[in-house]
Amino acid sequence: MSGFRLRWSELTKEGWHSRLPTGFPNNYTYLKPGKTKKDVRGVDYFVGEEELMKYLDRVDLGGFKSHRNELQLIDV
């Protein structure tokens, strides 16, 4: 299973959903739970796999940094 499909499988379990492309280019729109395309692109919804994966990478990196900072506080 590709990296995107694995991540998308996890996100759908959390309530994310997608919308079919409505024109050119043929990119799906991926939406957070309870969000629509009227909300903020790049925050609440994402157009295309690449845009979504870049967002998820930023979120994962932020979570890692936060977790690392928590561990440093515990070690002090």
Domain residue ranges in the chain: 3-75
Question: What pTM value is reported for the model?
Answer: 0.75
CB distance 30 to 41 below 8 Å? no
Cα angle, residue 63 at apex, residues 58 and 64 outer, rounded to 5°: 100
Tokens 């692109």 appear where? 41
Chain center to CA of 41: 12
Give the pLDDT of residue 70. Answer: 47
CB distance 66 to 60 below 8 Å? no
Chain center to CA of 8: 8
Chunked in runs of 10, what are the mean pLDDT values of the chain (76 residues)? 88 95 87 96 96 91 53 48
